[in-house]
Amino acid sequence: MTRTILLTGGAGFIGSAMVAALAVRGDKVVVLDKLTYAGHRQNIDGIKGTVELVVGDIADGALVTALFAKHAFNAVIHAAAESHVDNSISGSTPFIQTNILGTHMLLEAARNAPRTHDFRFIQVSTDEVYGALGDKGVFTRDTLMQPNSPYAASKASADHLARSWFRTYGLPTIITRCCNNYGPRQHPEKLIPRMIINALKGEKLPVYGEGKQIREWIHADDHARGVLAALDRGVPGEVYHLGSGEEMRNLALVTLLCDLLAKERPGRDYHALITHVADRLGHDYRYALDIESSHRALGFKPSVAFEQGLKDTLRWYLANDAWVETMVNYKGERRAA
């Protein structure tokens, strides 16, 4: 039976991987995306399947309510967000509006709409809600949320709302928390694309502080698969961790990218471009997720090996300079009146 899924943020980086994963299994996908500077219709243009793009804001109550009235959604996958930590430090307002108020609007619309018996609301979230770790240990699903950046605090707020809409109203929400993502179509503002783009132009590769921070990396296609596993097999009211166990210090990651670039595009000393800059305010030292119980419960295992995935991602950026050019100059699309 064809299922109809409302996917918010589907024109962004991870959202577009989710559109592809849903479309390939025959689901009908209604993408609700504001097309901010981070979301572009070119990210989903070529995807085969039943995909409808609605350009609009998740915080627009009339629009969201009308969408729920028009479609009998089997699920909402809520991936729309303001997603860049640095932007949240320089200006937090859009993070509060989209990540908190927007999530509230969606939860309310879902609560008030007629729903199929198998309806699920997936709140796509992040390991950053937990705060920071030292060299040892992992975040478990019972770890207290102690978010440090405005971005992380806004995502933690949204997670609290999703949990409470389950506990109070019985809306079948499921929260997924994923580690750092990489892959094709990631916005040039983010670490990996930024390093690739700068390196190709012979520009400095700015590494925050000493680059000692540690992140866990997963391919966006694996994140999408994990979210679909949570949609299919997750239990309402639960939290699931999606991760890879692939931890790396930021400086080691940038160095590895330089090694890969030297093989793919020889002729420049990429390593010499690495420059240490003032550290990000409140920069979390390390994130790492306890993934075993979640992956077991969902029957999920990431399939992309980190170094191969990184090489493929690099090759994608090398082959798609027109995409990069478009995104660098793009300021977002205004919603049609």
- Taking residues 154 to 193 in sequence order and writing x for each that binds ligand NAD by CB under 6 A, - otherwise, the string is -x----------------------x-xx-----x------
Residue 248, interface with ligand NAD (CB under 6 A)?
no
- Among residues 27, 57, 127, 247, which one is catalytic? 127
User: Using the rule CB under 6 A, which residue among 5, 13, 248, 286 binds ligand NAD?
Assistant: 13
Active site (annotated) includes residue 238: no
Structure tokens that stand for 26 in this block: 């025959």
* Residue that has been written with the tokens 């959604």 in this structure: 73
Residue 133, interface with ligand NAD (CB under 6 A)?
no
The answer to whether the Cα torsion of 266, 271, 273, 279 is positive or negative is: positive
Burial of residue 303 (number of CB atoms within 10 Å: 0-12, 13-18, 19+): exposed
Strands 214-219 and 247-249: antiparallel
Residue 214, interface with ligand NAD (CB under 6 A)?
no
Which amino acid is it at 36? T
174, 234 contact by CB (below 8 A): yes
69, 223 contact by CB (below 8 A): no
Shortest CB 178 distance to ligand NAD, Å: 4
Active site (annotated) includes residue 169: no
Shortest CB 265 distance to ligand NAD, Å: 25
- Taking residues 71 to 110 in sequence order and writing x for each that binds ligand NAD by CB under 6 A, - otherwise, the string is --------xxxxx--------------x---x--------
Please state, in angstroms and rounded to a whole number, the distance separating the CA atoms of residues 297 and 291: 10
Active site (annotated) includes residue 45: no
Percent helix, strand, coil in the chain (nearest 5)?
Answer: 45, 20, 40
CB nearer to ligand NAD: pick between 123 and 270? 123
Residues 17-46 that bind ligand NAD (CB under 6 A): 32-36, 38-39
Shortest CB 80 distance to ligand NAD, Å: 4
3 state DSSP class of 216: strand
Please state, in angstroms and rounded to a whole number, the distance separating the CA atoms of residues 144 and 244: 21
Shortest CB 14 distance to ligand NAD, Å: 3
Structure tokens that stand for 310 in this block: 């990184």
3 state DSSP class of 29: strand
- Number of residues located near ligand NAD, criterion CB under 6 A: 31
Shortest CB 60 distance to ligand NAD, Å: 8
Catalytic site residues?
Answer: 127-128, 151
Residues that bind ligand NAD (CB under 6 A): 8-9, 11-15, 32-36, 38-39, 57-59, 79-83, 98, 102, 124, 126, 155, 178, 180-181, 187
